[in-house]
Structure 1
Amino acid sequence: MNFGFLMNSAKVNFYDAEIITLPIYTQLIERVRSELDVAGGWIYPPLVSVDDKRNLCEKLQFKKNGPMVQEKYFTLPATHSITFADGHQDDEFQRFLILGYGFLFGLYLLPENYLYFCKIPHNSLILHPLIAGKNDCEIGIMKIYQFYKSSKSEDRKQMFAILHWFLMGQTYDMEWDRFDAQYKVMDGLYRLARSKKIIKKAPFHASRPVFMAEKFGIQLPSWAVLDPKGKSELSEMRNRLYHEAIFAGKPIGYECPKNNYSLEFPNFNLKMICKMLGLNTKYINVPPGDRQVHAWDLIP
């Protein structure tokens, strides 16, 4: 199965499979570099005119033509392929491995001809702070392979959703949308950990991250610490956003949180994802607010 878009030419062998670049990889990279709209580490959807969507009143009252807007869906060329010694594996398995391989780079990778529906990063340090070396790619994809093969169907689906929304959820422009996405990822991790009987049931919603942090040996962010009433800043932020359209104490869009959820929440979820996938990295011990770049340095 072909997939992309990835600017990394390393060949990776694992079990009965390998990931290699396509024969026209170099030409594809050069073509993409000359054609794509790129800024700040992101690839943006192409612009299209919506002048034909203006109604008669708009054409009479407004002098300018309709605006150029970002295309709702777009594709990128495949740069790599994943192949198996027996010549075939089911599509679900291959899609899982492709998504997991992208996670190692902090990139959202899709099979060939699949549609992207928002900006995506081309820089591997946009969505998480970990750099993957060749050994990390091989060790990491083997762990992801093992997770899939050792998990039941519902747990595979849940991990796919976790990886998908951990990566995609960070592409939103608005902070409340990114917060909402990472909260869903955290809840997905809790459900998966419960399904695999890794943790016991939390007595109430706000205690879920506390239970997981204790089980996985991860430093709990200050905003998830419980007060004497069993609440946390995180749980209160979540409840008011979900049920009252209030974010950071004001109507959505009128205030920013004092805590840096856009940095610390993905970092917290990243560590829990690593634990669930069996990715043994020293990054697990890094404080939540750390801004430095780290190597995966995965241990087999």
Structure 2
Amino acid sequence: MTNALPPVLGSLSFGFYPRPLAVTAGPVSIETLPDLDKAVADVVGDEGVERDWIYPPLQEVRNLGGGISTRPYPSRIFGLPKTHRIAHSAPNSTDHLIFHIWVLSFFTGMRLTSTEAGFLDATPIKPGKLVDFVLLRGGVPKAVELAEAFWVKHRADPRRAHIVAAAIHALFLGQNPVALQYERFLSLYTAFDACFALAQGMHKPRGRITHSGRVAWMCGLFGMPIPAWADPNIPSGPEIASLRNETVHEALFMGEPLGFAIHGVGSSGNLTLEMGALVCRLIVALLGASASTYVRTPGNTRQRQGLDLG
């Protein structure tokens, strides 16, 4: 663990972020805690690191004879060192700062948390692993300003900030490198549902929108191209809705029990990759940057896009 700076009213220590940050954006400031280099070295050198992801350590348990043994499976929830501190000159609550950390997580492309054990199953130790964009002009300060503007605009309905955090978390869960495809699909579909809940609260639709039309409605809302798998106008209906219904209601994925079949065999498509890319664009738009050209860039490629927040 790093040496924490003295507590300050209206501040939270968080991590893990492997680079220095010194940001002042309106009432919000972010600083790097002491011993960042040591914290990074400890995490990078951990035996649980593989391909820029860190996994939870194996559990040690005391047996009846008083000895220590290791279980053959890890605890799914684990912690990492705190590396930075965020402060606000006049926060409405601790939730205000936690919301900023969630949004900063999204724009840095890696999970950040102020809790002692805020990581589930696996988390990247390098920025940018969980999103398909790179911040351009203004970078992190602009992202902080965007988060603060969203909070101020919607503070009368704090549930909206919680839904933003939920959508980001579901997006991150959908990137878990050891998850099966149906698990990634369900996490990302849940992220769509969170985005829809937020979108319909902020932009009232004229009538009820079923699951089959939700993704297309959100795409239309922000001028995004509708992916073929979400097009409600094809005769059989959008593929994503059919997959969701079969998976949730019948415990089948691609016609087989969960985990025994995958989507896209023999094709060049990658459904979960495209779903994750679209969720990224929806979150950017819903946070208030819908005018960014990134929002309307294609999401059917592994190419990283530039994101200019203005």
Q: Normalising by the residue count of structure 1, what TM-score does the alignment of the two structures yield?
A: 0.88
Which of residues 154, 172, 181 in structure 1 aligns to 2:187? Answer: 181
Which position in structure 2 is the counterpart of 1:159?
Answer: 164
- Alpha-carbon spacing, 1:52–1:201, altered in 2? closer, same or farther (3 Å): farther
- Alpha-carbon spacing, 1:49–1:114, altered in 2? closer, same or farther (3 Å): closer
Corresponding position: 1:139 with 2:150: no
Unaligned runs of 5+ in 1: 54-64
The CA deviation string for residues 133-187 of structure 1, in whole angstroms up to 9 with x for no partner, is 5722111111111111111122222222112222233226111111111111111
Given that residues 49 and 69 in structure 1 are in contact (C-alpha distance below 8 angstroms), is that contact kept between their aligned partners in structure 2? no
| 2:14 alignment partner, SS class | strand
- Alpha-carbon spacing, 1:36–1:100, altered in 2? closer, same or farther (3 Å): farther
Which position in structure 1 is the counterpart of 2:55?
Answer: 44
Aligned amino acid, residue 119 of structure 1: A
Which of residues 275, 281, 289 in structure 2 aligns to 1:271? Answer: 281
Between stretches 130-139 and 238-247, larger displacement belongs to: 130-139
The CA deviation string for residues 81-107 of structure 1, in whole angstroms up to 9 with x for no partner, is 011235x65210111000110100111
Which position in structure 1 is the counterpart of 2:238?
Answer: 232
Aligned amino acid, residue 260 of structure 1: N
Q: CA deviation at 1:4?
A: 0.4
The CA deviation string for residues 5-32 of structure 1, in whole angstroms up to 9 with x for no partner, is 0012131111112011012222222232
Given that residues 97 and 145 in structure 1 are in contact (C-alpha distance below 8 angstroms), is that contact kept between their aligned partners in structure 2? yes
Which position in structure 2 is the counterpart of 1:59?
Answer: none
User: Could you tell me how far apart the structure 2 residues matched to 1:199 and 1:270 are?
Assistant: 22
The CA deviation string for residues 61-97 of structure 1, in whole angstroms up to 9 with x for no partner, is xxxx8753222322111000011235x6521011100
User: Could you tell me how far apart the structure 2 residues matched to 1:44 and 1:23 are?
Assistant: 25
Corresponding position: 1:242 with 2:248: yes
Supply the RMSD in Å over aligned alpha carbons: 2.2
Given that residues 247 and 255 in structure 1 are in contact (C-alpha distance below 8 angstroms), is that contact kept between their aligned partners in structure 2? yes
- Alpha-carbon spacing, 1:228–1:260, altered in 2? closer, same or farther (3 Å): closer
**Residues 96-135 of structure 1: matches in 2 within 5 Å?**
96-132=99-135, 135=138
Unaligned runs of 5+ in 2: 1-11
Q: Normalising by the residue count of structure 2, what TM-score does the alignment of the two structures yield?
A: 0.85
Aligned amino acid, residue 223 of structure 1: W
User: Could you tell me how far apart the structure 1 residues matched to 2:108 and 2:249 are?
Assistant: 35
- Alpha-carbon spacing, 1:108–1:6, altered in 2? closer, same or farther (3 Å): same
| 2:77 alignment partner, SS class | coil
Which position in structure 1 is the counterpart of 2:88?
Answer: 84
Alignment size in residue pairs: 287
User: Could you tell me how far apart the structure 2 residues matched to 1:157 and 1:223 are?
Assistant: 28
User: Could you tell me how far apart the structure 2 residues matched to 1:51 and 1:67 are?
Assistant: 10
Q: What percentage of aligned pairs have identical amino acids?
A: 25
User: Could you tell me how far apart the structure 2 residues matched to 1:297 and 1:13 are?
Assistant: 18
Structure with more helix by fraction: 1
Aligned amino acid, residue 45 of structure 2: S
